[in-house]
Structures are given as structure tokens and as C-alpha cells.
């Protein structure tokens, strides 16, 4: 009896030690990602592509760690694997604590995809690699522990993803606001050392029991299982690839075409990890017979929602997208779990899973932006998620007959997409604000329901529904779109055809009148939107110019963020104006596309510098600008690194004694006035105030805006205090922003209280 109790206690302690070590490893794995990603923002800016490429790097490093774990288990005697892995883990200490390495201070202009991957590899590649190997390695060791659950150790993957989920949610809401990046880097190093000790303890537990008869018999039974074939490996890869790609694509979609609300990227990644926690358990909260029709219905609804623009609201689009993404990932990961091999092939299983994740990240982060000018990979992957359902590739008929069916569905569908919309228009069938796209989409949705028992045919039909969304006018196919590392840019005419409108994601970047109220074509270079003659930014230019005239000086003006080039038309011939723009594509749209003529008419000898403003402004001479306008929002995303105390100190160094900084802070989600009010005391050389414009009529000719104005000399602020809407910074009980810590949650909640 006593021996039985001792065995139970030993088994329980083994389970607890392995689960805790797995949890800690996953926590560190996901804590390092946002910490370092936040560190590189002053270098790379805040576009959605930075996070997409970061995800690709971490998926690739995860693959490398899983490959190493697989080779270690397969080729090194089990009694020595721990010593090898501990040596690798100790080697990673050489590059800790986490930080930007020397020589990696400025990316090349253009699309720095490979440069970012190189930076992440040098800075965090080795420690991430060492931690990434732990998930399959610890499970493989546990399978050799003699524990009653050792034959099916996959439940530990749920503990791993639970640790990842807690780290992910804890970082923006608790860790960064409480500690800051520098302290987090140091604490991460300390916990990493604790992890090394825990790994050593796990290995000792296994090594002590590795020679027991029970374990040998268990391993012999495992070895007797069939070796997975290439069909199984391809399935593992594909089932991991589509959810991983959809994670990046959905995040890009909602932060580009829906809203770049702060922390919005956290929700998809959290749901992605949650699906692993739920799927890699013996029981699923929802039975598959209910989960599969639910997923199908949500996928079709999400595609139909994207096919129309009448009800293209933030809430509807986000909820439909989140539901489709979550259920698609849950079905794929559950199918993956149901197709898991015996524990003997565990490391190979995770290796192919990881390879699929890398392929998905590679497609969504690097290939899709080159293939598509819009975020079309998002609806494509939603449709492809139906390929992750059990039974899609098993036919009820002969393979040849099924191929004939699939080819016939494709041909008929292509003919419908190519001809039916035009036929409806020609014959006078109008559908008002809905348009013809959702009508055609409903046709394919109905056919997909009819093919319920034939899942391959159903998949092809839903892919044709994607083609409807991608080819015909829809919520993702609109305007003249171009795409770069920094986002999706669209140029379109306003509904009344009076303006060419330039948008970046959900943010208006400028508009130019091309027709008058009677519909006659005009050549008008009067700035519109936030830059109209009565706007705070236009008034700032006029005040600075009046000051220069009074002093008898020419004046030097700097503008961070080019947009359509509207502000160039406030320049005068004798003045020096320099624009700082991070994206070469924006320069081309403003100067070469022919849609906007602000630059060609008002500043034909364009003086522009391409690169992130923190880096390019640093190279400018100190005390050289009489006016700096900072207007560098990426979609609705806040350029946090351009609003920290360090950024304000940079602007102060570049200003003349009478110079002024005007920072555009209009934002729907964050109380940036309170943020700057809290940050200003950290920059004693600057004084400031807020100027709000509430008089604009809300058309493309005039948009309301709010700016913060800073100067070294209090007297320089007097003309701005006289402007309508001028006020002091208000107290929002938020923390100051620095490069080390920038709390997003506080300003978000403060904005909710204000409105």
C-alpha cells in the first residue's frame, strides 16, 4: 500500500514538474515576442507589416527549434539528450539580456522584409531557438518517463499554449505598463535561468527511470506503431499552415481595412492560441457534428459580408471575421489532434506542424503582399479553411468522376462570375446600395449548401464565392489600390465625383478637388481634409511664416508624413521645405500617379527624405527647423515611437530657439492629449498646448483635427493660444510614454470616459 502511494506521489510530482516547465517555457516564448517587437518600433515604425514579418520570424525560429528537437531525440542517446540541450540553452545566455544589437540601427529604404528578419535572427534568434525546442522535447521526455499518461503526452501542448496565452494577454495589460522594456528584458533573463534549472530537473527525472523495465516495454510498444507516410505528413503540414496564414491575414485585414485600434492584434493571436488549448484535449467543448456546420455557416456569412458595402460596419465585419477565424482554426487544430501519431513520432509530428506554420506565415507576410494589391489573402484563406474539415479529400464516387464534377463546377462558376453581373446590369436589374456582388455571392452560397454531403465540391463552390468577392466590387475590392510593406493605399473618387481621395487603410491621407459643384473639371490645389486653410496645421504654417517675415528670415520647414502632398501648397518660393516619408510608394502616389497635383504645382523641385522620421530627423542639423509638422499616422495606428519623451527631445534639438513643433493627434481610440500632457514634464525644454478644430464641415474639403503644439520659448506659443480651440493639456490619469514603456490601455479607457 505504501509503495502504491509512493508511486502515485512520484507520478503526480513528475506530471506537475513537466507541466510547470512546459508552461514556463511557453510563457517565455511568447513574452519575448512583444518585448523585442516593441523595441524595434523606433527603427521600423508601426505598420502592420512589422508584426506580420515578426510572426514569420518567430514561426521560422519555432521550426528550427522543432527540427533540432526532432534530430536530438532521433540521433542522440536518450541518456545524453539533456546534456546537449542544456549546453544549447546555456549558450543562448551569451546574447542576453534582449536588446538591439550594434550596427542594426537603420533599415534600408523601401521594403525591409529581409532586413527585419536578419535583425530578429541576430538579436533574439538563439534564445528563442533554445526555448522553442522545449515543447516537443519535454513531451518526448515525458513519453519516456514511465508515467501512466506517457503514452499520449499531447495534453502537455495544451499547457504550453496556456502559458503562451497568459504571456500574450499579460504583456500589454500588465507587464509593459508595470515594468517597462528594460526591466522586462532583465526579468526575462532571470526567468530563462530558472527555466534552465527546471529543464535539468525534468531530464534527471526521466534519466533516473529510463532503464526501468516498464519504460522499455512501453517504448517497445510505441516502436511497433506504423511509420507515418507522406500523406499523413502533408496533412499535418496543411492543417497547421492554413490557420497560421489566416492569423496573419486576418490581423492585417482588421488593422488595415477595419480599424487599427490599439491592441487589436492581441485578440486574433489569443484566439489562435486558445484553439490549440481547446483542440489538444481529449474532449472538445463542442462536438464535431455541431462544430462543422457552425464553421461552414460562419465562413459563408463572413464571405457574404465582405461581398457588400451597405452594412460594412466595424462591429459586423470584426465579429464575422473573428468567428470565422476562430472556428476555422479550431476545426483545423482539432482535425490535426485527431490525426496525431503515437508518441514515438511526436517530434516529427510537431516538426511538420511547425513547417506548415512557416509556410502559412511566409505566404501571408511575404508572398501575398507581392501578389495582391488588396488584402485578398484574407477571404481566400477563409474559403480554404473548409479544406481542413475531415473527409474533404475522401470521395463518395470514383476519383475520375469526382474530378469531372469539380472541373464542371469551376467552369460553370467562372462563366457565371464573368457574365451574370453584366447581364443583370444590361437588363436593368438594380439592387440599390447592395450592388450586384452579394446577389451573385448568394447564388454560390446556396449551391454550397446543396453540396453538403460532397465536401470537395462544397470547397470548390466556396472558393468561387471568394472569387466573387475578389473580382467584383466588394468591401475588399474597392478603389485604385497599391500595397507596400507599410500598408494598402487606395485612390478613389468621392461619391459625388468632385474629389480624388487618398486613404491608407481606414485613415484619410488627403483629397484634391477635381470638379466643381456643376461637374466641370477644375485645376484646384487648395488643400482639403485636415489641411484646409482654416485648419490648425494651416494656421501653424501661417503663424510661422509671419514670424519669419517679421525677423526677415527665409524659414526652414519640416513635414513628417507626406500623404497626398497637400501641405506643399502652403510653401513659398524663398522658403526651404523638406518632407520626411517612410514609404517610397506614398512619394510615387503624391508625385507621379497623376491623381494629385499638389507637389507638381506647388513644389516641383520636391525635397523629400525616405525613411523613418526618428532616424532621418536625427541626421538633420540641430537648431535648423523653424516649424516641424509631425503627421505620420499609419492607417489608424498610432506612431508610438514618434510620441515618446525621447521623440519629443529629438524634435526639441532640431528646433531653432523660436521654432515650433505641431503634432497631429486626431484619434478615435486613444486620449493622446492626456498622453502628451503626462509626457511633457519629462521634456523640460519644451512647453505646449492643444489646438482643436471643431468648425470644419466634415466634407473632403474640410475635416476636423486636433494638434499638439510645442515650443522652447513660451512666447512662441502666444499666437497659438489666440487660435479658436486652444487649451492646455488635460489630466487623463495616464502614464507618460517613453521608448521603454508606453501604456496603451490607459489612454484607451480615458478616451472612452471622455466620449
CA distance 51 to 256: 13
DSSP for 179-195? H-HHHHHHHHHHHHHHH
- Positive or negative torsion for Cα 356, 358, 361, 367: negative
The radius of gyration of the chain's CA atoms, rounded to the nearest angstrom, is 29
Using alpha carbons only, give the angle 67, 352, 62 rounded to the nearest 5 degrees. Answer: 50
* 480-484/487-493 β-pairing: antiparallel
Residue 9 pLDDT: 44
Type and span of the H or E element at 557:
strand 556-560
Closest of 475, 464, 412 to residue 441, by C-alpha: 464
Q: Helices in 339-363 by DSSP H: which ranges?
A: 346-362
Residue 18 pLDDT: 85
Question: Are residues 378 and 252 in contact, defined by beta-carbon separation less than 8 angstroms?
Answer: yes
DSSP state, 709? E
Closest of 69, 64, 57 to residue 134, by C-alpha: 69
Residue 653 pLDDT: 94
520 phi and psi angles, rounded to 5 deg: -80, 140
**Residue 610 to residues 289, 555, 616, 623, Cα–Cα distance (Å):** 55, 22, 8, 21
Residue in the block written with cell 525613411: 611
Closest of 240, 494, 266 to residue 349, by C-alpha: 240
* 487-493/499-504 β-pairing: antiparallel
Residue 7 pLDDT: 44
Residue 5 pLDDT: 45
DSSP state, 732? -
Q: Helices in 210-265 by DSSP H: which ranges?
A: 213-223, 230-253
In this prediction the pTM is: 0.82
Question: Are residues 71 and 661 in contact, defined by beta-carbon separation less than 8 angstroms?
Answer: no
Residue 3 pLDDT: 44
Residue 2 pLDDT: 43
Residue 262 pLDDT: 47
Max Cα-Cα span within the chain: 99
Closest of 702, 637, 716 to residue 672, by C-alpha: 637
Residue 45 pLDDT: 60
CA distance 175 to 169: 9
Closest of 98, 131, 183 to residue 24, by C-alpha: 131
Tens of pLDDT, residue by residue over 101-115, are 877 777 776 667 788
Which regions in the chain score pLDDT beneath 70?
1-12, 41-49, 51, 109-111, 147, 209-225, 255-265, 310-314, 395-397, 431-433, 479, 505-506, 633-638, 754-755
How far is residue 97 CA from its own chain's centroid?
Answer: 25
Residue 410 pLDDT: 92
Residue 46 pLDDT: 56
Amino acid at each position: 500500500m505504501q509503495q502504491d502511494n509512493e508511486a502515485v506521489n512520484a507520478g503526480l510530482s513528475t506530471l506537475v514538474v513537466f507541466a510547470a516547465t512546459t508552461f514556463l517555457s511557453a510563457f517565455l516564448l511568447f513574452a519575448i515576442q512583444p518585448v523585442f517587437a516593441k523595441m524595434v518600433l523606433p527603427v521600423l515604425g508601426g505598420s502592420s507589416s512589422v508584426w506580420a514579418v515578426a510572426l514569420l520570424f518567430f514561426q521560422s525560429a519555432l521550426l528550427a527549434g522543432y527540427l533540432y528537437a526532432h534530430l536530438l531525440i532521433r540521433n542522440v542517446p536518450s541518456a545524453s539528450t539533456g546534456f546537449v540541450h542544456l549546453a544549447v540553452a546555456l549558450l543562448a545566455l551569451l546574447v542576453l539580456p534582449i536588446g538591439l544589437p550594434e550596427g542594426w540601427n537603420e533599415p534600408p529604404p523601401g521594403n525591409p522584409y529581409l532586413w527585419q528578419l536578419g535583425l530578429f535572427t541576430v538579436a533574439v534568434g538563439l534564445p528563442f531557438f533554445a526555448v522553442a525546442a522545449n515543447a516537443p522535447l519535454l513531451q518526448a521526455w515525458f513519453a519516456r518517463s514511465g508515467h501512466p499518461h506517457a503514452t499520449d503526452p499531447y495534453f502537455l501542448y495544451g499547457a504550453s499554449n496556456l502559458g503562451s496565452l497568459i504571456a500574450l494577454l499579460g504583456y500589454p495589460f500588465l507587464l509593459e505598463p508595470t515594468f517597462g522594456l528594460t526591466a522586462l528584458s532583465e526579468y526575462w533573463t532571470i526567468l530563462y535561468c530558472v527555466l534552465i534549472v527546471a529543464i535539468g530537473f525534468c531530464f534527471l527525472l526521466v534519466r533516473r527511470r529510463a532503464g526501468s523495465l516498464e519504460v522499455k516495454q512501453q517504448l517497445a510498444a510505441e516502436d511497433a506503431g506504423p511509420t507515418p507516410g507522406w500523406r499523413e505528413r502533408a496533412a499535418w503540414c496543411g492543417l497547421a499552415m492554413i490557420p497560421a496564414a489566416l492569423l496573419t491575414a486576418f490581423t492585417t485585414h482588421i488593422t488595415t481595412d477595419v480599424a487599427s485600434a490599439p491592441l487589436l492584434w492581441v485578440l486574433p493571436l489569443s484566439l489562435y492560441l486558445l484553439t490549440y488549448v481547446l483542440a489538444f484535449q481529449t474532449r472538445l467543448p463542442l462536438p464535431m457534428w455541431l462544430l462543422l456546420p457552425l464553421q461552414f455557416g460562419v465562413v459563408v456569412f463572413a464571405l457574404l459580408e465582405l461581398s457588400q458595402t451597405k452594412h460594412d460596419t466595424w462591429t459586423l465585419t470584426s465579429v464575422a471575421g473573428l468567428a470565422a477565424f476562430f472556428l476555422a482554426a479550431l476545426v483545423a487544430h482539432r482535425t490535426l489532434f485527431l490525426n496525431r501519431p503515437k508518441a514515438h513520432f511526436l517530434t516529427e509530428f510537431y516538426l511538420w506542424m511547425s513547417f506548415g506554420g512557416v509556410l502559412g506565415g511566409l505566404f501571408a507576410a511575404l508572398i501575398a503582399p507581392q501578389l495582391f494589391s488588396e488584402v485578398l489573402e484574407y477571404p481566400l484563406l477563409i474559403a480554404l479553411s473548409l479544406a481542413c474539415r475531415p473527409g474533404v479529400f475522401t470521395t463518395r464516387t470514383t476519383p475520375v468522376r469526382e474530378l469531372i464534377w469539380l472541373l464542371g463546377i469551376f467552369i460553370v462558376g467562372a462563366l457565371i462570375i464573368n457574365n451574370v453581373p453584366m447581364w443583370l446590369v444590361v437588363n436593368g436589374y438594380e439592387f440599390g446600395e447592395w450592388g450586384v456582388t452579394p446577389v451573385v455571392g448568394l447564388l454560390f452560397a446556396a449551391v454550397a449548401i446543396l453540396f453538403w454531403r460532397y465536401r470537395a465540391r462544397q470547397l470548390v463552390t466556396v472558393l468561387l464565392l471568394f472569387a466573387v468577392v475578389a473580382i467584383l466590387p466588394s468591401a475588399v475590392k474597392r478603389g485604385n489600390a497599391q500595397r507596400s510593406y507599410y500598408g494598402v493605399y487606395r485612390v478613389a473618387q468621392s461619391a459625388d465625383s468632385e474629389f480624388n481621395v487618398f486613404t491608407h487603410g481606414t485613415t484619410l491621407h488627403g483629397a484634391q478637388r477635381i470638379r466643381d459643384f456643376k461637374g466641370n473639371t477644375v485645376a484646384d490645389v487648395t488643400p482639403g481634409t485636415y489641411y484646409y486653410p482654416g485648419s490648425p496645421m494651416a494656421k501653424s504654417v501661417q503663424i510661422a511664416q509671419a514670424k519669419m517675415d517679421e525677423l526677415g528670415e527665409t524659414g526652414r520647414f519640416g513635414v513628417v508624413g507626406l500623404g497626398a502632398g497637400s501641405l506643399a501648397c502652403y510653401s513659398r518660393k524663398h522658403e526651404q521645405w523638406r518632407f520626411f516619408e517612410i514609404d517610397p510608394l506614398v512619394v510615387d502616389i503624391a508625385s507621379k500617379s497623376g491623381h494629385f497635383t499638389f507637389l507638381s504645382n506647388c513644389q516641383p523641385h520636391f525635397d523629400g527624405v525616405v525613411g523613418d522620421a526618428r532616424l532621418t530627423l536625427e541626421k538633420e542639423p540641430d537648431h535648423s527647423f523653424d516649424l516641424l509638422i509631425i503627421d505620420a499616422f499609419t492607417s489608424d495606428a498610432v506612431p508610438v515611437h514618434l510620441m515618446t519623451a525621447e521623440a519629443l527631445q529629438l524634435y526639441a534639438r532640431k528646433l531653432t530657439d523660436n521654432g515650433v513643433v505641431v503634432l497631429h493627434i486626431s484619434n478615435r481610440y486613444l486620449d493622446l492629449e492626456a498622453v502628451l500632457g503626462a509626457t511633457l514634464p519629462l521634456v523640460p525644454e519644451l512647453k505646449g498646448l492643444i489646438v482643436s478644430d471643431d468648425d470644419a464641415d466634415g466634407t473632403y474639403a474640410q475635416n476636423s483635427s486636433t494638434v499638439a503644439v510645442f515650443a522652447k520659448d513660451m512666447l512662441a506659443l502666444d499666437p497659438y493660444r489666440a487660435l479658436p480651440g486652444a487649451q492646455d493639456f488635460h489630466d487623463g490619469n495616464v502614464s507618460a510614454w517613453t521608448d521603454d514603456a508606453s501604456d496603451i490601455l490607459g489612454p484607451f479607457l480615458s478616451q472612452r470616459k471622455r466620449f
